[in-house]
Amino acid sequence: MPDGNGAEFPSSGDPRVDAALARLLARNDARFKDLEDAMLVQAQLEKRAGERIKEHAELIAEHHASIRRHNQWLRNFETKMSEIEDKVHFLIDREMKREGGPEAL
């Protein structure tokens, strides 16, 4: 369907809507221009909203990956701290036995 500048409008897929748009265009009605402007604004808003949703989805995915990395780091840290604790207890026990402390009995 041609617009006022000779360009083609894509078909809406509904013959009633296409016919109404053609009638408005044929009369060069200001309502058609308002409708066209509103549709362009709506399309731009939907595009921006889609971009934000994509950005948020990427942020959420990165956040989940960060949480997984942190949990792995925490497990490694806890393992190392447990190993250090065992070594410290061993050294304390050895010193207590050497000095004749309560563990020497």
- Sequence ranges of the domains in the chain: 15-104
Question: Could you tell me which residues come within 8 angstroms of residue 97 by beta carbon, excluding any fewer than 6 positions away?
Answer: 103, 104
Q: What is the mean pLDDT of residues 93-102?
A: 79
Phi, psi of 19 (to 5 degrees): -65, -40
More confident residue, 98 or 58: 58
Structure tokens at 101: 């402390």
Q: Over the chain, what is the mean pLDDT?
A: 84
Could you tell me what percent of the chain has a pLDDT over 70?
83
Residue 3: DSSP 8-state? -
Question: Does position 7 have pLDDT exceeding 60, yes or no?
Answer: no
| Residues 18, 8: Cα–Cα separation, whole Å | 12
Question: Does position 73 have pLDDT exceeding 60, yes or no?
Answer: yes
Phi, psi of 29 (to 5 degrees): -75, 140
